Amino acid sequence: MDNLITVTSPLLPDLDEFHSMLKEIWDAKWITNNGRFHQQLERELASYLKVPYISLFTNGTLPLITALQALRITGEVITTPYSFVATTHSLWWNGIKPVFVDIDPETCNIDPAKIEAAITPRTTAIMPVHCYGRPCDTKAIKEIANKYGLRVIYDAAHAFGVEVDGKSLLAEGDMATLSFHATKVYNTIEGGALVVHDEETKRRIDYLKNFGFAGETEVVAPGINGKMDEMRSAYGLLNLRQVGKAIEARRHVAEAYREALHDVPGIRMFDNIPGVRHNYSYFPVFIDAEKYGMTRDELYFKLRASNILGRRYFYPLISTFSTYRALPSAHPDNIPTATRLAEQVICLPLHHALSEDQINLINSIIQYNRG
């Protein structure tokens, strides 16, 4: 549908430029296995993101699975129920039990005040999520991890390019993972990456994502195939040239929403955080039905009736899915804030290609079409 307003839209490189790079790949006949564009993209991403080392993957879930393997995480890992299912699925695939703790209502991130009480002798790590690209309380999490000798792996799927006081948010923790899925601020169609701090760890990750091969005839670990190919690496190089402009366009949309909706009763939004370079990956609003006069779901379907696709993100909670709902930590009484916000949240369309008319239409429906 030509008039459909989607919650996101992929950042696409210039087709002629992409075709030119594809011709180089065709001529070289090297289409995967750490090719020239793959190596170049790792270098350029590390520079852009202000991190020492990046290892590219074919999607955003494999870096999570591989990080857990590389750090030899076992037993239990403390995490959030307010995330995409890949966060906890990566634990399950590694035979690790997720332990859910509640979130901070002001950030939707894991609440550090709830972490310590969830630690047991089986706890080996904490896996927080920078939800909507908003930074976790990394200082508090680090203090807890150091106190109990725990590893910290950040799921930073939403946090591409986010900085705090000029420092990359991706530099926090033992490792951080990224998603380059088509729905993200920066994409390689499908793709992802693992951020690490030293060359030795980078080398081990590269072994693990290539079946464990350390040479032509030497396998040093039970690795998997997680490599990104040359075509998506080329696509990623082109998108890296324009992602800054796309983030600026997203900022304009976010500011337009805030300006139009800030005084609408029953609508709560997040403000920018001082000192944080945001990437405007999502624009969640939280609906207080009593004050707004309409539930979140009623607004969601009213927007759909006008061909506007919001997203109830994150709803339902991971903890409600069949794999996890029997866990003691999944009970709603243990995670009341996450349970409440999951019933209130709707992410409004936010991407670089939204027009002023589209933004105004969305705002007008939320402002005036109540009841």
What pLDDT was estimated at residue 370?
53
* Domain assignment of residue 7, yes or no: no
* Domain assignment of residue 1, yes or no: no
Residue type (1 letter), 291: K
Same domain as 268, residue 218: no
Same domain as 337, residue 224: no
* Domain assignment of residue 320, yes or no: yes
Residue type (1 letter), 67: A
263: domain range? 243-368
Same domain as 167, residue 53: yes
Same domain as 302, residue 164: no
What pLDDT was estimated at residue 2?
67
* Domain assignment of residue 2, yes or no: no
* Domain assignment of residue 4, yes or no: no
* Domain assignment of residue 254, yes or no: yes
Same domain as 196, residue 90: yes
Same domain as 178, residue 59: yes
Same domain as 232, residue 263: no
Say yes or no to pLDDT of 371 above 70: no
111-148 pLDDT per residue, tens: 999 999 999 999 999 999 999 999 999 999 999 999 99
Predicted confidence band of residue 277 (pLDDT cuts 50, 70, 90): very high
SS3 sequence of 146-158: HHHCCEEEEECCC
Say yes or no to pLDDT of 96 above 70: yes
Same domain as 282, residue 225: no
Q: 191 to each of 232, 256, 350, how far by Cα in Å? A: 8, 31, 21
Mean residue pLDDT across the chain:
97
Domain CATH number, residue 95: 3.40.640.10
Give the residue from 214, 240, 266 where a domain finishes: 240
What pLDDT was estimated at residue 348?
98
Same domain as 330, residue 228: no
What pLDDT was estimated at residue 257?
98
Same domain as 27, residue 75: yes
Give the residue from 240, 266, 281 where a domain finishes: 240
156-176 pLDDT per residue, tens: 999 999 999 999 999 999 999
What pLDDT was estimated at residue 368?
82
Same domain as 269, residue 230: no
Domain CATH number, residue 305: 3.90.1150.10
Question: What's the mean pLDDT in 270-285?
Answer: 98
- As a whole-number percent, the residues of the chain with pLDDT over 90 amount to 98
pTM of whole model > 0.95?
Answer: yes
What pLDDT was estimated at residue 131?
98
Q: 361 to each of 316, 329, 353, 365, how far by Cα in Å? A: 27, 41, 15, 6
Say yes or no to pLDDT of 369 above 60: no
What pLDDT was estimated at residue 38?
98
Give the residue from 181, 216, 240 where a domain finishes: 240
Say yes or no to pLDDT of 246 above 60: yes
Domain count, the chain: 2
Same domain as 150, residue 291: no
Predicted confidence band of residue 358 (pLDDT cuts 50, 70, 90): very high
* Domain assignment of residue 139, yes or no: yes
Question: What's the mean pLDDT in 242-256?
Answer: 98
* Domain assignment of residue 6, yes or no: no
